[in-house]
Structure formats: C-alpha cells, structure tokens
Amino acid sequence: MVKPLSIQDFLQLNDDIVLIDVRTPAEFEHGHIPGAFNLPLFSNEERVKVGTTYKQVGREDAILLGFDLAGPKWSGFIKEALVIAPGKKIAVHCWRGGMRSGAMAWALDLYGFEVYVIQGGYKKYRRWVHQQFEKPYRLRLLGGMTGSGKTRLLHKLKEMGQQVIDLEELAQHQGSSYGSMNKMVQPSQEQFENNLAHQLKTIDAGLDTWVEDESLSIGKCSVPNAFFYQMRDAVMINIKVDLQTRVDFLTTEYGALDKDFLTACTERIGKRLGPEQTKNALIAIRENRMEDFIRIALVYYDKTYRTGLAKRPSGKVFALALTGSDDAVHAAQILTFSQTIQTPIPAQT
C-alpha cells in the first residue's frame, strides 16, 4: 500500500527511507532535495513530448504516450531502485506529487517496496525551503578583512561544538573575484537555497549560530533576502589580524593558482582597482611576484571591506585583535569574547 507523507514529516524521519526524485535529469540538476537520488521516469526530451501532447491534444493522450515511453523501462526502474534502496523502503516525489510519482510508486509497491509519496512534491518542498529563511535565528557574524582566516576559524568553532553555517562552502565560492579558486563549480541558485535550508533545519534557534560576514552575492549565488537581513542585523565580531599575516596566508593560498586565471580575475576588477594598480598587479603575476600581487589586490579589498563595515550599526560591531597563528587559541578567544556580548533571543514566528 502506497502511503502519503508530508515533506515536513519526511524530513524528520531517519535515514533508512531512501528518497528518489522521478523528475527529469534537467529538473534534478537545476535543484533537488539534498540526499535524493534521481530515477527519472522520462528523459528530458520525453517529458517535452508528453507536455506538448498534453497541451495540444489532451490529458488522456498524454497519459497513453507516457505509458508508451515508460513501458520498456519498468524492469530497469525496479532494478535500479533495489540498488539505491536495498532495504526496500523508499519515498518518491515528482514536481507536484502527481502522475509521475504516482506511476513510480504503483510499480514499486507492486514489486514489494514499502513506498511513500511526498505530498505536493518538489513544489511543496520549495515552499518549505523559503520558510526556513523566514525563521528567526540567533546569528553571530565573524568579520574581518580578506586573509584574516575567517573560514578556518569557523571550522574550528564547529569542531568546538558551535553551530556554524559556512555559506562559502555551500556556494562553492570564496566570495571574491578569485573565489572559484579555478576549480570550484557553483551550484544553481535553487540548489544553494536547498542546501542552506537543509543545514538550517538542524539549527537550535535558541543558541548562537556562527556565520561569516558575506555580501549578498557569493559568486553567482545570492544569500536569500530573509536570511541576509538577519545577517545584517546581527552582532558581528570583527577580528583584527596584522597585514603581514594576511599577506602570507593569501600568498600561500592564491600564489599557486594558474596565472591565466589570476590575470583574468584581476582584469575583471580593473575599473575598481584602477589602471595603474591593475597594470602593476598583472606584471607581478606575470613575474611570479605573488606577495606583491597580493598586497596590491588587498588595497582594493580592504577599501571595499571598510566601506561595508561603515554601513553597519556601530553598536553591533565589536573588534577583537588576534595575534599568533594558533586557530584553536583564536577560536577560544572569540568564544570568550562573544560571551561578553548580549544577544537578544529571537522572537518565534
């Protein structure tokens, strides 16, 4: 017997029920529930044919075409489902929880799977995603100029048991012109939102959650507005690290990157960097003078950071100087300092 299941109830279940998404590969790639497996009832091209038939001829003809297209695949679907879910417990969804998921659920149930169908499908899930950004969180921002090691410190805070959301990791981008590191591939905006919501559902809203200070855009991904507004209103600890430490760290991190990549990224910020500084930066890259290149780029990034910092309410920005190179010591200092700052408990909505 196929059982209906709300998306909220599914997300609270343990991991022994495997989720399969029967939408097309293109739909799945554009955005999917984290952890789902794609078992498409139709290929991208087949779905177009069925949709066109539905619009131009009618529902019944579209259903018949769907059966014709899927008919030879049923044995393969079941074999693949057995590989994905050997325990034979499976949840199924399509776009709206309609015919595609219904057909797949019927076949799997007939074979002997314990089958659940997600009510409302992926469309309902996306509504749930946006609701997560509206919830109030007790955010604490970790700020600091480029090269201050904020991401490393976030990870260290997580190791120490703190709640952490790493937006750059979710966006697969380090938030600057050079942020892809010539290797990271960013998710779609929709998938970025799904991944962020997936992490937020585990957050205890009554406890501090650490987030790195970010712009609205992280590469091509944008922080959802409702969550970004909470970030802008949060207390921020602005860590202060000396310039040479920052230069050394960035020289190590960026110095080994492909010179063509560094050149292209530098040219993209040429107007903001200025013609003379851009020329000098490009020469430094070409001559493998990475520390000189970093120092030039930091003139621009430090100015940009100061401009953004000046727009924040002064009563919510607290400076903390860090010395030395021990991330564990720095993380402990941040936590101790944070405990001296009162954070109001967010009102529940």
- Say if 349 falls within a structural domain: no
Whole-number pLDDT of residue 160: 96
> Of 85, 110, 129, which closes a domain?
129
Of 113, 129, 145, the residue at which a domain comes to its end is 129
pLDDT at residue 178 in the model? 87
- Domain presence at residue 343: no
Q: Is this structure's pTM higher than 0.85?
A: yes
More confident position, 175 or 188: 188
Note whether 166 and 122 are same-domain residues. no
Going by pLDDT thresholds of 50, 70 and 90, the confidence category of residue 57 is very high
- DSSP code of 186? P
Supply the range of the domain harboring residue 267: 136-338
DSSP state of 247: H
CATH code for position 58: 3.40.250.10
Domain assignment of residue 227, yes or no: yes
What's the CA gap between 26 and 48, in Å, rounded?
11
Read off the amino acid at residue 55: K
pLDDT in tens, 321-339: 999 889 999 999 999 999 9
Does 347 map to a domain?
no
Residue 265 annotated to the active site? no
Supply the pLDDT for residue 14: 67
pLDDT tens for 89-128 read: 999 999 998 889 999 999 999 999 999 999 999 999 999 9
Q: Are 168 and 121 in a shared domain?
A: no
Residue 254 lies in a domain: yes
Domain ends where: 91, 109, 129? 129
Q: At a CB cut-off of 8 Å and minimum separation 6, what does 61 contact?
A: 53, 54
pLDDT of amino acid 348: 53
Number of domains in the chain: 2
Is the residue at 345 inside a domain?
Answer: no
At 60, phi and psi to the nearest 5? Answer: -65, -40
**CATH number, domain at 196?**
3.40.50.300
> Catalytic residue among 94, 129, 282, 285, which?
94
Residue 344 domain-assigned? no
pLDDT tens per residue across span 264-287: 999 998 888 899 999 999 999 999
Whether pLDDT at 152 is above 80:
yes
pLDDT of res. 318: 95
Same domain, 158 and 193: yes
Distances (CA, A) of 29 to 15, 85, 198, 218: 22, 21, 17, 20
Are residues 331 and 291 part of one domain?
yes
Among residues 254, 236, 330, 334, the alpha carbon closest in space to that of 298 is found at 254
Confidence at 345, pLDDT banded by 50, 70, 90: low
